Amino acid sequence: MRRLALAVEGLAIAVLFGSFLASGGKTVLAGAAFSLLGLAFALGLAGQRGELERFWLWFASLLVYAFLYIPLIIVVIFSFNDSKLNAEWVGFTTDWYAKLFADQEMLHAALNSVTIACVASLIATVLGTMAGISMHRFKPRLLPFLVFTPVAMPEILLGVSLLIFFLNTARPLLGAFGIEMGLGLTTVVIAHITFCIGFVAIIVRARLAGMDESIFEAARDLGATPWQTFRLVTLPLILPGVIAGALMAFTLSIDDFVITFFTSGVGTKTLPLEIYTMIKVAVTPEVNAVSALLMVLTLAMIVTASRLAPDLMRAKA
Amino acid sequence: MGSRRTLRWLVGGPPFLFLVVFFLLPALIMVVASFRYPGEFGGLAPLFGARPGEDSGLTAESYRVFFGDWVYFEIFAKSFGVAGLTTLVCLLMAYPLAALIARRPKTERNLMVLLVVLPFASNFLVRVYAWMIILGPFDLLFNRFAVICGMVYVHLPFMILPLYTNLEKHDPVLLDAAQDLGANAWQRFWRVTFPLSLPGIFSGSALVFIPVLGMFAIPEILGGKDDWIVGNMIKESFLGTRDWPFGSMLSLMLTVAVLAVAGATSWLAARGMRRA
């Protein structure tokens, strides 16, 4: 057990040392924190049984939870800070929120985000549900590839390939028919649908996989047409999955930055794009305020989705 | 049988067509784009019917530049380094938590998993921005360390969830048996738990490693100019220098790298399964 602890600790120190060298020696403090983490993990990992080991496992796990939550809590706290800098606490204020709601550009971006997310998630839910049912029922060969690859690929690849497609293929093609086309809301919606279909399809298929096939056979034997079977039997059964998929698609769409970045063009801004610009140009607590609000919104969506389909959490991974 | 065929197309057709047009076709167009000339004002030069003095048709120029200069190889190596380090740190942090959750009673598990996923409720950029606030006052920003912090923070749940899904399935009786046969804690972990968890480790690693390779926002926001990886190069080719053929070629190279990583992990996972 001690040897394992040493091995893991050694690994942690090696990782540290690497990043330390790479970043030019400024990371002593962070280094100390990381090796403490490493030690805790090592002891926790070694702990298979016994009170002491369990303590260390809990200790390591609580540190990870802290790692997950502290940064977000800091963002929220500083959104109420009466200072232009995110460095120290000065006093309580809601000015940043007031400023945010007076910011026309921000409100416009928020409206864009919600519009895109509504349209994209609606269409992606319909197409994704169809894809999920089709994959479950007919076991097609090519469809799973088309559905899952956009989910598994780095987002940037979908973003740039759609950028080329929209500007270099679709625009001249539509131009030949006299239709003016540029990057904007429509292209962003199409791009979002493309990657949301996969998530909805995964959830719907998972829902169908756990079901007793004989229900559908019974419906058919009793003379139901395929449409009646779908409307009266299949849809009510998979509805929680469909709703969870829709919420998931909405969350993914409203949060998406990378693909939107490449397909939105110059004129169209969404909330994540505004946040990106703010972070790159001037970091003010207004960013914290919009972040906190966005957090509350998506939090509500995820909690609702998880209530509807507990297996959803694993669908993303 | 004919009606089954119609039904199949009625249900599967629309998503199929949509994805062929907006996913497969753009991907193929990108492959062709990597063999074209850059346009005079950025973008792509026409394939046919160029004006006099303008380039048109196909060329392997982008590939020649890429394979002719070590700089690009170094950037790919650096990207793999950053992705590898991120994966390793994620694994070290995820394992104890996943192991703990897997051992808790069923009622607690869902709550603990939900607590892992909840930070995902915040926007990706917000989570990166949080590290600007944290590291800024300590003067730890704009270096490789900050980049790794951001990468780990954004991708950690992708490691925790598959690991937990795997560890949850382990039968505790195996550990009892090992203990009865005289294995100590060290042996029980390395010879029972760890080999059995390899599939979880590999799928988690792929889920962390692959997206990190294509990331451009984190190195851009938290890193210095030295920390640029493949994702940044692609973004710069498309929106900065507007050399689309070069950007397309880089995207294809990234795709190849991703496929290689995905293939390697699934091969390793299958091998690990057999041995375990």
Q: What is the gyration radius of the CA atoms in chain A, in angstroms?
A: 25
User: A227: which chain B residues are within 8 Å (Cβ-Cβ)?
Assistant: none
Describe chain A by its helix, strand, coil percentages, rounded to 5. Answer: 80, 0, 20
CA atoms of A142 and A132, how far apart (whole Å): 13
Judge: A194–B23 Cβ closer than 8 Å, yes or no: yes
pLDDT higher than 80, residue A252: yes
A63-70 average pLDDT score: 89
Is B245 at the interface with chain A, CB within 8 A? Answer: no
Helix (H) / strand (E) containing B170 = none
pLDDT given for residue B252 in this prediction? 93
Chain A contacts in chain B segment 80-139 (CB below 8 A): 85, 88-89, 92-97, 99-101, 110, 113-134, 136-139
Instruction: For residue range B21-41, list pLDDT tens digits in order.
Output: 999 999 999 998 888 888 777
User: A18: which chain B residues are within 8 Å (Cβ-Cβ)?
Assistant: 85
| Of B6 and B86, more confident | B86
Instruction: For residue range A108-145, list pLDDT tens digits in order.
Output: 888 888 899 999 999 999 999 999 888 888 888 888 88
Structure confidence at residue A295 as a pLDDT band (50, 70, 90):
confident
Which residue in the set B113, B130, B258 is minimally distant from A74, CB to CB? B130
pLDDT given for residue B180 in this prediction? 86
User: A86: which chain B residues are within 8 Å (Cβ-Cβ)?
Assistant: 132-133, 136
Domains of chain A, by residue range, sit at 2-78, 99-315
Helix axes B124-135, B144-168, angle to 10 degrees: 130
Task: Indicate which of A17, A34, A157, A186 best probes the interface with B, i.e. most B CBs within 10 Å of its own CB.
Answer: A157
pLDDT higher than 70, residue A43: no
pLDDT given for residue B51 in this prediction? 66
| Beta-carbon pairs below 8 A across chains A and B | 317
pLDDT given for residue A285 in this prediction? 80
CA atoms of B57 and B40, how far apart (whole Å): 14
Structure confidence at residue A317 as a pLDDT band (50, 70, 90):
very low
Judge: A162–B26 Cβ closer than 8 Å, yes or no: yes
Judge: A11–B184 Cβ closer than 8 Å, yes or no: no
pLDDT higher than 50, residue A20: no
pLDDT given for residue B173 in this prediction? 86
User: A155: which chain B residues are within 8 Å (Cβ-Cβ)?
Assistant: 211, 214
A260-280 average pLDDT score: 87
B220-232 average pLDDT score: 87
Structure confidence at residue A5 as a pLDDT band (50, 70, 90):
low
To the question of domain A99-315 being in CATH 1.10.3720.10, the answer is yes
pLDDT given for residue A28 in this prediction? 52
pLDDT given for residue B53 in this prediction? 65
Judge: A74–B126 Cβ closer than 8 Å, yes or no: no
**Proportion of chain A above pLDDT 70, given as a percent:** 79
Is B199 at the interface with chain A, CB within 8 A? Answer: no
For A298, the closest chain B residue by CA position comes to: B121
Name the superfamily (CATH) of residues B62-275: MetI-like (1.10.3720.10)
Structure confidence at residue B242 as a pLDDT band (50, 70, 90):
confident
CA atoms of A264 and B8, how far apart (whole Å): 35
Judge: A279–B7 Cβ closer than 8 Å, yes or no: no
The shortest C-alpha distance from A143 to chain B (Å) reads: 6
Angle at Cα A118 formed by Cα A116 and Cα A123, nearest 5°? 95
* DSSP line for B7-76: HHHHHHHHHHHHHIIIIIHHHHHHHHHTTBPBPBTBBB--SS-PPTT---SB--HHHHHHHH-HHHHHHH
Instruction: For residue range B131-167, list pLDDT tens digits in order.
Output: 888 887 777 888 888 899 999 999 998 899 888 888 8
For B208, the closest chain A residue by CA position comes to: A317
**Of A165, A166, A205, which Cα lies nearest the Cα of A183?**
A166
pLDDT higher than 80, residue A194: yes
Judge: B24–A146 Cβ closer than 8 Å, yes or no: yes
| Of B153 and A105, more confident | B153
pLDDT given for residue B57 in this prediction? 75
Chain A contacts in chain B segment 12-51 (CB below 8 A): 12, 14-16, 18-20, 22-27, 29-30, 33, 43-44
For B238, the closest chain A residue by CA position comes to: A160
pLDDT higher than 70, residue A100: yes
pLDDT given for residue A192 in this prediction? 93
pLDDT higher than 50, residue B1: no
Say whether pTM exceeds 0.95.
no
For A4, the closest chain B residue by CA position comes to: B186
Which residue in the set B30, B100, B214 is minimally distant from A155, CB to CB? B214
Is A69 at the interface with chain B, CB within 8 A? Answer: yes
Structure confidence at residue A191 as a pLDDT band (50, 70, 90):
very high
Q: How far, in Å, are A12, A268, B135, B140 from residue A19 at the CA level?
A: 11, 38, 15, 12
State chain B's mean pLDDT as an integer.
85
pLDDT higher than 70, residue A103: yes
SS3 A223: coil
Instruction: For residue range A275-288, list pLDDT tens digits in order.
Output: 898 888 877 788 88
CA atoms of B11 and B51, how far apart (whole Å): 47
The shortest C-alpha distance from B125 to chain A (Å) reads: 7
Q: Count Cβ atoms within 10 A of the Cβ of residue A285 and give its class: 0-12 exposed, 13-18 middle, 19 or more buried.
A: buried
pLDDT higher than 60, residue A31: no
| Of B19 and A299, more confident | B19
Is B240 at the interface with chain A, CB within 8 A? Answer: no
Is B186 at the interface with chain A, CB within 8 A? Answer: yes
Between the ranges A251-255, B4-8, B66-70, B146-150, where is the mean pLDDT highest?
A: B146-150
